Amino acid sequence: MVNTAVKEEKVLNPQDLTVFCSQLALLVKSGIGLDDGMEAMGQSMSKEGAQMLSQVRQTYLETYTLSTALESSGVFPEYMVKMVQIGEGSGNLEGVLEGLTVYYDNQSRMMRQIRQAVLSPSMSIFAMTLVVAVLVWKVVPIFTDVMQSLGGPVTGAAALGPLLGKIVLVFLVALLAAILSGYWAMKMGKGQIISRILSVFPGVSRAKEKFFAARFANVLSMLLAGGYQTEQALERIPGLLPDGEFRSRVEAIHSRMEDGQSLAQAVNEEKIFPGLYAGMLWTGEKTGSMDTVLHKLAQIYQAEALEEIERLIALVEPILVGALSASVGAILFSVMLPLLGIMSAIG
């Protein structure tokens, strides 16, 4: 496992969780005891990581329940703990750990893309902030002094330039502060707060909807593969979803099934999957391969959600650069045009 500096109450990042889950899955698959396997894993970790794993192993030796051992450490996310608990209860721990490996690998890839996408615009915004600051406090005053020396009043468009510059500067500083705050929130595991704020944008809302559909399909697939009945599985899923709206929709699906609808009908009524994909559920019900169909849907929606995020990221920088360049141009022209008019009149 990669070296991990684990601090108390700090949840492990997706990259470390990917490696950790994959190693546990290999241990389960090979038949090696988790206690012996975790002891071997700790030998290749950093001092802090080895201490964390030692604590997990000690709790596991006391309870022989992996989910309890993970929860006691305080560094594993709630979703992972609950999924491991389901895997242990269903006898499908290997499948759950493999599913978690894929889940956190996708999450890690998405986080890298977001960090890369945020870094470049942030540098552009910082550079623009310096440019606008120089314009407001150094360049614009020179133009206004020249205008006054030529006998022209600093009114109208000329007066608008410094004001516009200050407004743009305040906006840029606020934007930088928002980006830093968002980055801090993500580092501290408060990503759900950022997600709720950004959900007002249609693209973010669509990506969030797809992530929900992917998680719903993935969890239900693992539960069904583990031997749970559909109604039992649906009772467990709401506790694994972070968003109240999505939990309500899963509960509505459960209610519809209690009223006699099939899973495919209930899911279609709640508009979790569109027509074509809803048809896949019908096929899964008829052929008895619902878990396989749901697993495939989870992969499709996870990929579509990542593509949606990539499209949003690709739009951010050109829009910001274009808007900021237009602002800088407006500041300069608001001062230069009146000055050129005065010089032309004098000439």
Confidence of residue 186 (pLDDT cuts 50, 70, 90): low
Position with higher pLDDT, 260 vs 203: 260
Please give the pLDDT value at position 3: 40
This prediction's pTM: 0.67
How far is 39 from 34, CA to CA, in rounded Å? Answer: 8
The highest-level CATH class for domain 113-347 is mainly alpha
Q: Which ranges in the chain are annotated with CATH 1.20.81.30?
A: 14-104, 113-347
* Lowest mean pLDDT across 58-67, 74-83, 155-164: 155-164
pLDDT at 156: 54
pLDDT of residue 4: 41
User: In which band, very low, low, confident or very high, does the pLDDT at 119 lie, cut at 50, 70 and 90?
Assistant: confident
Q: What is the pLDDT of residue 45?
A: 76
pLDDT at residue 318 is higher than 60: yes
Tokens 């990539």, residue?
310
Q: What band does 194 get if pLDDT is binned at 50, 70 and 90? A: low
The burial of 155, by beta-carbon neighbours within 10 Å (0-12 exposed, 13-18 middle, 19 or more buried), is given as: exposed
Question: Which three-class secondary structure state does DSSP give residue 45?
Answer: coil
More confident residue, 347 or 138: 138
Contacts of 319 (CB under 8 A, 6+ apart): none
**Cα–Cα–Cα angle for 260, 263, 265, rounded to 5 degrees:** 75
The residue that leads in pLDDT, 11 or 236, is: 236
* CA–CA gap between residue 253 and residue 55 (Å, rounded): 40
Looking at the chain, how many residues does it have? 347
Distance CA 220, CA 295 (A): 8
Examine the pLDDT at 193 and tell me if it is beyond 70.
no
pLDDT > 70? residue 27: yes
Coil, helix or strand for 342?
helix
Instruction: For residue 228, name the pLDDT band (cuts at 50, 70, 90).
Output: confident
- pLDDT confidence bin for 8, thresholds 50/70/90: very low
Phi first, then psi: give them for residue 10, nearest 5 degrees: -100, 120
Non-local CB neighbours of 31 within 8 Å, separated by 6+ positions: none
Of the options 1.10.3720.10, 1.20.81.30, 3.40.50.10300, 3.40.50.1370, the CATH number for the domain spanning 14-104: 1.20.81.30
What is the per-residue pLDDT for 335?
63
What is the per-residue DSSP string for 219-238? HHHHHHHTT--HHHHHHHGG
